[in-house]
């Protein structure tokens, strides 16, 4: 590996470490914001998931609607095709019945002429010719009684009243010729030579045809599929219920929608069983029939609900865990940062007096020296020593000596009040004070204030003894340039301290530092 590659990788590691440190500090300093951010992210993820799930609900309903449209198209196409075939047979029956030659033929030949092969369809109940009085004049079956009258049936009376009806599909009725079997009639009017009413051609369709058609449609557990007339009369319905046949639902809100258009879809509650369904309907072209498929919404949405319950539950669980982890991480980093800050503070603090220690003093003094050099401002240092401290220890004991150190430290700290100043324990009974932007006379004033305050202090030295201490202070002030150094300034203050001690102690020796100006 080349040295250049190694250097790039090292810089990259350092940059990543620096970024990680800044991130940790940012999280530790703002745990609430970090936890809140995690909560917002989890909520956003949950909102996205639930939005997707809701879109899946719409997709499920749309898919069911499209499937229903296809089923309706199948039913409608089957009905249209078969009714068209039956109508062709009816037209042939009408043409045959109007032929005057028909009456001269034998009954068997008449049936062959009137009733073609279409009248043998599986669900055809019968093919008949009725005269103007509703009596049977011809039938596909040879064993049908011709004594009955069907003038009361709607498939007869409607043609009797209105010559322009064309193909008519009757209401469901119970057949009088086939043991009360449910049927509907497809009929056409037969006119006489002079245009008068001469009777009706009739095809009876068993409702089993419609039931068989609907039974092939799967609409789910609670779904429904039905065929009805455009006046609301029910012809067939699945699930089958005999009481539904012939019932009228024209007053139902569901039917009102069907009557208003040729085709469409809507959701409504069924008036028959109270189930909410998705109704898709279409009018069968050329007929009064309406085919409708209505799957229940619960059936349509059941798979979606199962998936949503699983996905939604997992999303909530994972989201809650994510939020919890975010808050735990935020507060853990905060505690870690607090612990690191405390360790840094302890590493820079004298354990007995709570003042800055020697290491912090050196770093701070060097920083202030560099700053003073840039700005050209004066920098002062005080060097303080407790007078006769060894003798004080020998007289009152080390515990009282420690109390004296703490008391002196408090006096110094309470006198030096500026935030830019630094009070430190240099070692043993020695203290140092860094006074940025402070000229010599200002430093001397501060030193004298410290000396007087310490001299006036009294404290309990044990067994009722009241003790006092004094301090000697050396003060040095410099205007940093490219020649001197911070250590030289401190050394000058130390020299001044010894001058104060040599002069009798309990005094201040101050002045400009010749070695650093």
What pLDDT digit, counting tens, does each position of 214-244 carry? 988 888 888 889 999 999 999 999 888 888 8
- Parallel, antiparallel, or unpaired: how do β-strands 459-460 and 466-467 relate? antiparallel
Q: Do domains 99-206 and 358-509 have the same CATH topology?
A: no
Q: What is the CATH code of the structural domain delimited by 358-509?
A: 3.30.70.270
pLDDT digits (tens, 9 = 90+) for 293-320: 999 999 999 999 999 999 989 989 988 8
Cα(401)–Cα(392) distance, rounded to whole angstroms? 7
**Phi/psi class of residue 274: alpha, beta or left (left: φ > 0; alpha: ψ in -120 to 50)?**
left
Q: Tell me which of 88 and 344 has the higher pLDDT.
A: 88
- pTM > 0.85: yes or no: no
Burial class of residue 64 (count of CB atoms within 10 Å of its CB; 0-12, 13-18, 19+): buried
Q: What is the DSSP string of 474-513?
A: EEEEE---SS--HHHHHHHHHHHHHHHHHTTSSSEE--B-
Q: Tell me which of 325 and 497 has the higher pLDDT.
A: 497
Cα(229)–Cα(259) distance, rounded to whole angstroms? 10
Domain boundaries, the chain: 99-206, 358-509
Closest CA to 431 of 408, 453, 451: 408
In the predicted structure, residue 44 carries a pLDDT above the cut 80: yes
Class of domain 99-206: alpha beta
pLDDT attached to residue 517? 39
Side-chain-side CA neighbours of residue 104 (13 Å): 3
């Amino acid at each position: 590996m080349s040295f250049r590659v190694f250097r790039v990788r090292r810089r990259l590691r350092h940059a990543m470490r620096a970024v990680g440190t800044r991130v940790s500090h940012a999280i530790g300093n703002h745990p609430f914001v970090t936890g809140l951010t995690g909560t917002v992210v989890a909520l956003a993820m949950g909102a996205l998931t639930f939005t997707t799930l809701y879109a899946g609900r719409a997709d499920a309903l749309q898919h069911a609607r499209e499937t229903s449209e296809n089923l309706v198209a199948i039913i409608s196409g089957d009905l249209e095709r078969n009714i068209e075939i039956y109508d062709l047979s009816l037209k042939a029956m009408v043409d045959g019945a109007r032929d005057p030659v028909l009456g001269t033929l034998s009954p068997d030949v008449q049936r062959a002429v009137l009733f073609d092969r279409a009248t043998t369809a599986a669900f055809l109940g019968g093919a008949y010719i009725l005269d103007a009085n509703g009596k049977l004049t011809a039938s596909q079956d040879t064993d049908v009684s011709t004594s009955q009258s069907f003038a009361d049936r709607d498939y007869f009376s409607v043609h009797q009243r209105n010559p322009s009806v064309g193909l008519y599909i009757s209401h469901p009725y119970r057949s009088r010729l086939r043991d009360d079997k449910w049927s509907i009639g497809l009929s056409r009017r037969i006119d006489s030579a002079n245009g008068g009413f001469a009777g009706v051609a009739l095809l009876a369709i068993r409702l089993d045809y419609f039931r068989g058609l609907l039974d092939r449609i799967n609409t789910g557990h609670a779904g429904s599929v039905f065929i009805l007339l455009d006046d609301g009369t029910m012809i067939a319905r699945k699930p089958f219920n005999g009481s539904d046949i012939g019932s009228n639902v024209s007053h139902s809100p569901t039917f009102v929608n069907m009557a208003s258009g040729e085709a469409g879809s809507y959701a409504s509650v069924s008036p028959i069983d109270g189930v909410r369904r998705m109704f898709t309907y279409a009018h069968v072209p050329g007929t009064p029939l309406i085919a409708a498929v209505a799957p229940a919404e619960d059936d349509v949405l059941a798979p979606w609900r199962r998936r949503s319950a699983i996905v939604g539950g997992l999303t909530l669980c994972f989201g809650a865990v994510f939020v919890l982890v975010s808050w735990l991480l935020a507060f853990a980093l905060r505690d870690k940062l607090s612990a690191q800050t405390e360790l840094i503070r302890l590493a820079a603090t004298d354990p007995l007096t709570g003042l800055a220690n020697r290491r912090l003093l050196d770093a701070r003094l060097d920083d202030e020296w560099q700053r003073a050099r840039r700005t050209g401002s004066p920098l002062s240092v005080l060097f303080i020593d407790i007078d006769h401290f060894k003798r004080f220890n020998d007289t009152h004991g080390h515990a009282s000596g420690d109390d004296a150190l703490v008391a002196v430290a408090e006096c110094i700290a309470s006198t030096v009040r500026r935030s830019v100043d630094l009070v430190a324990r240099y070692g043993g009974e020695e203290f140092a004070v860094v006074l940025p932007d402070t000229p010599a006379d200002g430093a001397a004033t501060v030193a004298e204030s410290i000396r007087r305050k310490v001299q006036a202090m009294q404290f309990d030295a044990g067994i009722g003894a009241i003790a006092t201490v004094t301090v000697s202070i050396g003060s040095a002030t410099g205007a940093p340039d490219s020649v001197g150094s911070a250590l030289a300034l401190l050394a000058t203050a130390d020299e001044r301290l010894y001058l104060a001690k040599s002069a009798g102690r309990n005094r201040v020796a101050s002045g400009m530092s010749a070695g650093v100006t």
